[in-house]
Amino acid sequence: MKSALWTLLIALLVLAIAGCPRQKPEQVNNTQTRPPVSKAETPPGQSGTEQPPATPTTPPGGEMSATGGETTPPAATPPATPPTTGIDSGGKLPPPTPPAAGQPTMTVVLETTKGNIELGIHKEWAPLGADHFIELVKAGFYDGAPWFRVMEGFVAQCGISANPKLNLEWGKKTIPGEPLVQGNQVGYVAFGMSGLPDGTTDTNSRSTHIFINLADNSRGLDPQGFACFAQVTSGMDVAQKLFRCQYPDQGGLAAQGGLEKFKAMFPQADYIMKAYVKP
């Protein structure tokens, strides 16, 4: 009897257990796969974890900028104002030097291939320059000299002798600078000067080169110290008709054989056939 009861109880217990819902075992290592985290798009050159780069300095010369690939135009650099332009700090040009008074002390005649040009010499404007020019004329320095630099609306320049020996002799004889009394208006004559590395002119470098102003250059040349010593009193129309040219090798022109090369390059160039003091 007892064995039958135990059998019945065991059978009922098995049926009760079978009727209960089962649970899945919990994963202890917690390694279940999570969905990927969505990333927002980042600028080129950056990852999702990097910090944006520091803003670079603007590259010079229009190089590619590192902040977006656009070309950065070069910054405009204001031109340095050379001290010889005559422009003041306010950007204004100085007034031209008014013509100086006085009568010429003597007259020099330049017999050119286009006609005669007469220069009235004014010692009161630039005594050193005037005397030096007269010495050159009397030495025959300008006889046969070419007008090697004649620029429209600027100057007609000569001062390289046809005789290489005279170039060697007189090229070393320079005169010191003088205060500017007469400016560089049309028809006035001054000595050329050498330029310096800083853009100014060496006022103590006057030797043999002279030029006739074909236009009013007073605002550009007066501040540089080109002191005029003479004025065209006759033949300005001749000066304006001189053949336009610019010979690039002035040193070569002064040397032996230089004049022949000049003639080959500019067969129509004009010359001073003879220069002399008018009686």
**In the predicted model, what is the mean pLDDT of the chain?**
76
pLDDT tens digits for range 225-237:
999 999 999 999 9
pLDDT tens-place string over residues 156-198: 999 999 999 999 999 999 999 999 999 999 999 999 999 999 9
Domain boundaries, the chain: 108-277
- The answer, yes or no, to whether residue 254 has pLDDT greater than 50, is yes
Closest CA to 231 of 142, 143, 132, 123: 123
pLDDT(240) > 70? yes
Per-residue pLDDT tens over the stretch 50-100: 333 333 322 233 322 222 333 333 333 333 333 333 333 344 555 656 666
Side chain identity, residue 19: G
Element (H, E) at 262: helix 258-265
Q: Position 46: which residue type?
A: Q
Spell out the residues 6+ positions from residue 166 whose beta carbon is closer than 8 angstroms to its own.
Answer: 139, 140, 141
Picking from 186, 182, 183, the residue whose alpha carbon sits closest to that of residue 239 is 186
CATH class of 108-277: mainly beta
Predicted pLDDT at 102: 75
- pLDDT category of residue 103 using cuts at 50, 70 and 90: confident
